Structure 1
Amino acid sequence: MAGFLGLKFPSLFAKPASLSSLAGVVAAAVPISNAQTRERLRMKQIFQEARERCRNDPLDGVRFTLDEFHDALDQCDFGFPVGSKIKGTVFMTDDNGAHVDIFGKSSAYLPLHEACLYKVKHVAEAGIHPGSQEEFIVVGENAEDDCLVLSLRSIQWDLAWERCRQLQLEDAPIKGKVIGGNKGGVVVIVEGLHGFIPFSQITMKASAEELMNKELLLKFMEVDQEQSKLVLSNCKAIASSQVQYGIGSVVTGIIQNVKPYGAFVDIGGISGLLHVSQISHDHISDISKVLQPGDTLKVMVLNHDHVRNRLSLSTKKLEPTPGDMIRNPKLVFEKADEMAQLFMRRIAQAEAMAHEDMLRYQIEEVL
């Protein structure tokens, strides 16, 4: 059992010690001086007095009253004007936004619609969580709740325009998703901003409804933040990034539209026609039973029309056995590269044989 002040007492369950042995234990204890005892008592008294003072009269000895302290706070300007940037820490979120500690007299609030350039259902989708530290911009004040209204969207808005200006200077391509349209063109989302593409600047001949939710390769034509005007071009992007597709190359595309005579396939912004006669070795009476818009295909390039920027395509050449595009299109997709290599070897062999025949004919003519 532990002792007091360094003394060690025998266990209650141990055999009683003799008087001589107990005297040895007491003699071995470390003595405490009277000066140390007085110091401990003095410190104890000081702590007790401080505790009572904090409990009963916490302002005892303070040179100003609590009312004077509040008056001093009111005389100081801790306000943040609209448009100013402040740093804060999110301490709570709800379905409508986030509560932010800005280290002022009151907290601030970030509404859901000000959390991000994109539409989100909860601030968590914009990466806002309790503990998040961000730089916000003050966009207003809620007098009813006595709190500031903050925004991240305004900061992201300026950054997005700066990004678009930089991309225009670099003449760099960017992808945009079609979200709407009218008689003149379509509306796309780029860098979180709304941009417009005139139909004259779209390589594919399609309506706004047909282009809805599709991603297009684009380049900027006009970037005007003051007028909130973004004009883009699909034709300009395709022309500068046009790929020279060789005959026999295999490319992946997405079916855009299906007609009785064939299917139109989008390949990196270039439109290609998969004619009904080039779908399969077997006869196809109804293309819609074999191909659907949105399907992903591997196709072989038969021809590249650089003037109209159109490709002639084939899946017929990629069939391991005739009719596989009808019976097992998945197999055609998996074996496409292998079949293309086989096709190219056959072409090379045929060209070599034709060259030999031509040489033989020329020799016979000379003889």
Structure 2
Amino acid sequence: MRNVILAESAGFCYGVERAVELAGKTADETGGCWMLGDLIHNAHVVEELAHRGIRKAEKIDGLTKEDTVVIRSHGELRSVLDELEAKGVRCVNATCPNVVRIQKLVAQAEQEGRRPVIIGEAHHPEVAGIASWCRHPLVFEGPDEVQKWLDADPQNRETPVTVVAQTTCIRSLFESSWKILKKECTNAKIFDTICNATHKRQTEAEEIAAKVDVMVVVGDRKSANTKHLTEICKKRCPRVFQIENADELSPDSFNGCSVAGLTAGASTPAGIIKEVYATMSEEIKAAGGKEESFEELLNQSFKTLNTGEKVTGIVTAITPTEIQVDVGAKQAAYIKLSELTDDPSAKPEDIVKVGDEIETYIVRVNDIEGYAELSKKRLDAVKVWENIEQAVEDKTVLEGTVTEENKGGIVVSVKGVRVFVPASQSGQPRGADLSAMIKQKVQLRITEVNRARRRVVGSIRSVSDEARKAAQEQVWANIEVGKHYTGTVKSMTSYGVFVDIGGVDGMVHISELSWSRIKTPSEVCKVGDTMDVYVISFDPEKHKISLGVKDRSVDPWEVFMDKYSVGDVASVRIVKLMTFGAFAEVVPGVDGLIHISQIADHRIEKPEDVLSEGQVVDAKITAVDEEKKKISLSIRALLAPSDEEDTADEAPVEE
């Protein structure tokens, strides 16, 4: 059997690993740099960093603008960061992204007139750093201090509060604290800021501690998350040792121990964990010191199955209702069809084959009857949650389908997990009908996960905004006068339309929409229309683009000259009425004047007595001024002459 159960999540978390990598990279680039205090809570790692040229400074007095400082993973006081900036010292911020988020939350809370409440250890550098991002923070280590503050002054219950947690806070302490505040305060906002990796590490350590004779926790004694791991393990295991390295272990620690557990804090390097694991295995064997019988060895060759654990086995048989799996245990194991897949029409043989290796979840173990019930479906669900949690840290873009609209937003199904997307993060305009998004496939990022409450929050807008920003940068990087785009009409005004040419809106003036005279853009297009446009001008600083639609390769005057001559009769459209006559469109982009004396075969007071804008009439071309591109038209010339009217031709009149 396995003498030591090693926690899968033991060792460096994402934030610590990122900080160490950033520090090493900075040292390589600069030839040596500084860290303020300990970069992470592990003396062994800090010593190794010193060998790589990363020196430790307790104060910033001696630093100059020639120096480079790496900010530790726990974060730093805002006043210190401001002073470094004032001195011109280059800073490389290795603060854990989870800590940065909490700093922003408390700063925002104070801007909104709310009192920031931090659940954590007041003297821990992470908490001190977070508190420095607001002026009047409240720091409580647990529910007792919360209740004491509430009881101290009745007005405290009326104070709007925003509640956050130290990333390594024990979940039970945080939950009991925020529940009191939620119940007794009239206006409380709660943000679960405990690191997902921390919660996973604590849960796993608790589960292992309940199964072993001795539990070993490895980590620096200054590390808060290591201390919390030890506290959690002591509740489930009577013998718990917190050590910094393998040298602190002894055979006496494992007297009477057959199975020991091992976990490690987030700042413990893999090398130390590996060394402790090997030492523990040897010490347990040495403490046992007895020769085992063949029967004992045979029994130990079988796995011990425990409800709730993962187990990998080989498919040995398939029936219409279940599959049988060899998991290397004394019990016979099987998976019901209902625990294999959610698809009621699926057949077992379509999902797995005899000989396939399959990873499953142990639902129930019956030692009396000698069988174990397994579930692949539940394990898949667990993996999905793990992937969802990892997606928060990695800021992964996921794809899902909108399944419903509910109060305040929409629900997106991501691999079977319900993700709530607030209306403000849906990517739709304020007040839009969100039900229109149902059944649409969307891309989103996960912004918040509370696995205990099965609550997941996501943002579609962050993905669409990022894509739009990238598209905008692409447009501005390649735009040039005369370049053609296929765009979409986004909005309309009385003076023109705005067209999206790939993330950037350009304006087409009404005069550029058509060669013909139009009064409103709606005469030629509508919102949503696809439009071929070209760039007339652009201003990158003001982010303004002027677009055109009219085909400049075609000269309307040449079209007119090719089609008509003096004496020809044309069907024209009245486009403008003046006191001296009417302008009529002969071909798109070319107008002619019908003088008031040439409108009718009798004297009229004003053109609108006979004509109206938009009216189509026949007119004779009586004169063409090619130099000024002016045309004279006559309706009267096509009518029988009247004795009382002057029949003299009129020269073209300027518009």
Larger radius of gyration: 1
State the TM-score, normalized to the length of structure 2.
Answer: 0.27
